[in-house]
Amino acid sequence: MPRLSVRQRVFLTFAGLAVAALAMLALALWGGQNRAATGANGYLFAFILGGFGLVGMIAGVWLMFDETIAKPVDRIAADLRSRTHAGLSHPIDPATARHLGDLGPAADAMTRALSASTVDAAQRVASETARLSAEAKRLTALLTEIPVATILCSADDRIVLYDGQAAQVLAQIAVPRLGARLGAYFDARAIQAARGKLARSGKDVSFAASGIDGAQSFEMQMKHMDGGGYLLIIDAATVRLAPEGNRPLTFDFDLLDRAPALALAETPLRALCFAVFDTETTGLLPHKDEIVQIAARRIFGGRLVEGEVLDMLVDPGRPIPPAATKVHGISDFMVAGKPDPDAAARAFHHFCEDAVIVAHNAPFDMAFLRRRSAQNGLTWDHPILDTVLLSAVLFGAAAPHTLDAICERLDVTIPARARHTALGDAEATARVLLRMLPMLEARGLDTFGKVIRETTQHGRLLQDLNAAPQA
């Protein structure tokens, strides 16, 4: 039947069903007549035999339609969305549409045509992007030679821009983060006092502020910025900075004009900050095993922010089983003298402040963090997205939802040496999420609340932690 059209296949299927139904009815009547001849209720026997036979045939036809039409149509629809909204280019698998006649080739031809029509526009954008990138590199090189660290803040004290030297200053306290409040790094009272002086005098204010860890004091100057916000300049000559190459400016000027915060459920996906993380552990039992590595990447403004990375080896306080080392490559020697699990948890907790936590199979990773909440005093009440559940929403519960399967489906490459490392898997999960966001928006799931309502419908596949009590 490979050359038959979909209409011919459907016709033959229903014709076969009609013939089988007539045969079943004839068999039921014949059996009922024979039963009646022995004095039994022939009509009841014919009804039971015919009824069960018809139900069985209908169930068989439904299973056949589900496997050959319904599931392939869902897979092709998901493929079309991924190509349209996630920018994928690999062809539609012919095996998926082998029972759907010309639908598969037609869908593949359409996506190829659309891709070809965007090549010229993409080339023009790439050319302009390269020009702007070259200018940005020259500006970065110039700023690197100036012995000051520059941070631009919004009117509500959130970091809008920081240069390479400012990144080093912030990193001495915690991982630098766009959108983070300045008080997460420096003494908030000193910052507020300087802001008060700036508002009263309108002139630049020089002051000193210590880091929240109390390890250093920084000489600073605060300048008013037209259009709102202020510029914070730190005398980098007085700060211990490591010699390193030019680091790009990191910024998101939308923070200067950000609208008042909405309730989380109503917040657009694009307006959310995501902390995408993964862990490697001594074993698979969260109630007794420990973390040996934790890593995370931040997505802000719909993009991975370069340099905003957490990557920590962790001393679990116990020997790492050889079987676990064989998986992730982390040995006892590598973690000797590294931070303990509580210190790692505190570092990650700071990293994901004001962010939605994202993980692949989040219940597993979060269980390790929540188990120690009582002893380290951390509250894990963050909103959480799980790429397993997002995959089920986009591709159906029947599709495979391993990280490798999703990466293959979305053209995300995990280098072999990075697989089963916390940073490599966190990076892959982050890139998967970036591919999924436009696909979710295209389905009308453009706010956090709408997405969660969809993921909770797949609770039998994996627990949605947003509905779970927080530790």
Whether 420 is catalytic: yes
Cα four-point dihedral sign 113, 119, 120, 122: positive
* Cα separation values, 390 from 367, 435, 437, 453, Å: 20, 11, 9, 11
Report residue 222: phi and psi, to 5°. Answer: -110, 130
Alpha carbon 188 to chain centroid distance?
32
Q: Cβ of 275: how many Cβ atoms within 10 Å?
A: 26
Each residue of 123-152: b (16+ CB within 10 Å) or e?
Answer: eeeeeeeeeeeeeeeeebeebeeeebbbbb
Q: Where are the beta strands (DSSP E) in 314-389?
A: 356-359, 384-386
**CA 8/CA 194 separation, integer angstroms:** 79
**CA 151/CA 169 separation, integer angstroms:** 10
The total number of residues written for the chain in this structure: 471
> Could you tell me the two tokens for 329?
């490559």
- Out of 99, 382, 420, 458, which one is annotated catalytic? 420
**CA 198/CA 201 separation, integer angstroms:** 5
Positions marked catalytic: 420
